């Protein structure tokens, strides 16, 4: 009976996540467990399909220089390296290791993990963790002419591993006019369920970019 209750609880939580998994902008990229969109690649229009694979967090560190999250899904469930990971609140990380039934993701709370970010007006910058508080990241590269106000929303730009307009967090305070402290929408201290995003075109692009970078090291 305990196992039945656990499975029922997971099913309910999964349904809750699917119903809440949303960014409050239009169009809503996470309204359903799958979606399609059109993008421009090399001057041609291609259709990109997104699939959201639910997973339970088995382990999660937040106090290391590089933090990892262990998930209860693996290659049998379609998980591959470089897939992005989100939850019902926002971004979480990127898949780094995969076995048949498990996977490990590098957390956003890690050194050298940069996320291309976008303000509501379309201004693009970079978000990265400074290794201090797990509730905050830093938004850098914003022009001084752009005024970011407290509680302004910060989203993914679509230029990194994450689809466009996934919530990252809200502006907390300015550091110097081009750098801002961002209050993460994801609570990593209470991370229990996530979604792994399957998007073949994006994974192929990221792998190609990583190969190009390695050749110049």
pLDDT at position 25: 33
Is 68 in contact with 104 (CB distance < 8 Å)?
Answer: yes
Same domain? 14 vs 121: no
Can you tell me the distance from the alpha carbon of 215 to that of 217, in angstroms, rounded to the nearest whole number? 6
What's the token pair of residue 145? 């002419």
Range of the domain at 136: 115-184
State whether 101 and 128 are in the same domain.
no
Total domains present in the chain: 2
Position 39 scores a pLDDT of 47
We report the CATH number of the domain holding residue 97 as 2.40.10.340
Confidence of residue 29 (pLDDT cuts 50, 70, 90): very low
Residue 9 — pLDDT band, cuts 50, 70, 90? low
In this structure, is residue 25 part of a structural domain?
yes
**129 and 101, same structural domain?**
no
* Same domain, yes or no: 33 and 62: yes
Q: Does the N-terminal peptide bond of residue 27 adopt cis geometry, omega within 30 degrees of 0? A: yes
Neighbours of 93 (CB within 10 A): 30
Residues 97 and 122 in one domain: no
Q: Are residues 9 and 93 in the same domain?
A: yes
- What is the C-alpha separation between 110 and 155, in angstroms, rounded? 19
Neighbour-count burial of 26, counting CB atoms closer than 10 A to its CB (0-12 exposed, 13-18 middle, 19+ buried) = exposed
Residue 121 lies in a domain: yes
CA dihedral sign, ordered 71, 76, 77, 78: positive
Q: What is the pLDDT of residues 71-107, one digit of tens each?
A: 999 999 999 999 999 998 999 999 999 999 999 999 9
pLDDT of residue 192: 93
At 53 the three-state DSSP class reads strand
Reported as a pLDDT band with limits 50, 70 and 90, residue 167 is very high
Give Cα separations from 202 to 50, 161, 176, 193, 194 (angstroms): 10, 7, 33, 23, 19
Q: Say which residue, 216 or 76, is predicted with more confidence.
A: 76
Single out the residue of 102, 110, 8, 18 nearest to residue 56, CA to CA. 102
pLDDT at 175 (0 to 100):
83
- Mean of pLDDT over the chain: 81
Q: Do residues 100 and 202 share a domain?
A: yes
Both 161 and 199 in one domain: the answer is no
The string of pLDDT tens digits covering residues 142-159 is: 998 998 999 999 999 988
The pLDDT confidence band at residue 209, using thresholds 50, 70 and 90, is low
DSSP for 122-167, written as a single string: S-EEEEE--SS-TTEEEEE---TTS-PPTT-EEEE-SSSSSPTT-E
- Residue 50 near residue 32 (C-beta atoms within 8 A): no
């Amino acid at each position: 009976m305990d196992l039945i209750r656990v499975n029922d609880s997971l099913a309910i939580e999964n349904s809750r996540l699917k119903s809440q998994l949303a960014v409050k902008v239009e169009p809503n990229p996470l309204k359903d467990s799958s979606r399609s969109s059109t993008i421009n690649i090399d001057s041609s229009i291609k259709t990109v399909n997104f699939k959201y694979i639910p997973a339970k967090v088995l382990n999660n560190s937040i106090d290391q220089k590089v933090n990892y999250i262990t998930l209860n899904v693996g290659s049998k469930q379609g998980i591959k390296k470089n897939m992005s990971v989100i939850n019902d609140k926002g971004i979480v990380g990127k898949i780094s290791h995969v076995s048949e039934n498990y996977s490990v993701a590098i957390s956003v709370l890690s050194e050298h993990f940069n996320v291309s970010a976008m303000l509501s007006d379309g201004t693009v910058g970079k978000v990265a963790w400074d290794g201090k508080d797990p509730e905050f990241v830093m938004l850098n590269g914003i022009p001084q002419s752009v005024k970011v106000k407290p509680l302004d929303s910060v989203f993914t730009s679509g230029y990194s591993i994450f689809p466009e307009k996934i919530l990252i967090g809200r502006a907390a305070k300015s550091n110097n006019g081009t750098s801002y402290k961002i209050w993460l929408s994801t609570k990593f201290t209470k991370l229990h369920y996530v979604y792994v995003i399957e998007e073949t075109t994006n994974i192929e692009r990221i792998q190609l970019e990583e190969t190009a970078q390695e050749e110049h090291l």
